[in-house]
Amino acid sequence: MHEMALSESILGILQEQAAAQNFARVKRVRLEVGPLAGVEIEALRFSFEVVSRDTIADRAELEIIETEGQAWCLPCGETVAVTQRYDPCPKCGSFQLQVTGGDEMRIKDLEVD
């Protein structure tokens, strides 16, 4: 399950931050996830809970902010909103789309003690 690997990398970042900024506990993690990132939110929540057990992020709340997917449509020559990777252009129905945003996952901020 790739959400498990993602959770481990999130936890790794939290531990680095804790060492650098000298905090002992993470209370809340705000995570931005794009709709095209291929992340299953429920699976991510579950695996984060598992990997963070007995760590600085034990019982930390995972707040997921879903960002918008964006793609460049070649026939239209403009940026359009998409919700899935293989969606057609909402304006012209073309599949000649180049994803330009919404395929990333990043930690937006943390609430710590």
The upper half-sphere exposure of residue 16, i.e. CA atoms within 13 Å in the direction of its Cβ, equals 6
Q: Give the span between the Cα atoms of 57 and 94, in whole angstroms.
A: 44
Nearer to Zn ion, 10 or 97 (CB): 97
Structural contact between residues 64 and 41, judged by C-beta atoms closer than 8 angstroms: yes
Site string for Zn ion, 44-83 (x = CB under 5 A): -----------------------------x-xx-------
List strands edge to edge, sheet with 78-82.
78-82, 69-73, 97-101
Nearer to Zn ion, 64 or 76 (CB): 76
Q: Which of 2, 28, 59, 91 forms a contact with Zn ion (CB under 5 A)? A: 91
- For residue 11, state whether it binds Zn ion (rule: CB under 5 A): no
Residues at the interface with Zn ion (CB under 5 A): 73, 75-76, 89, 91-92, 94
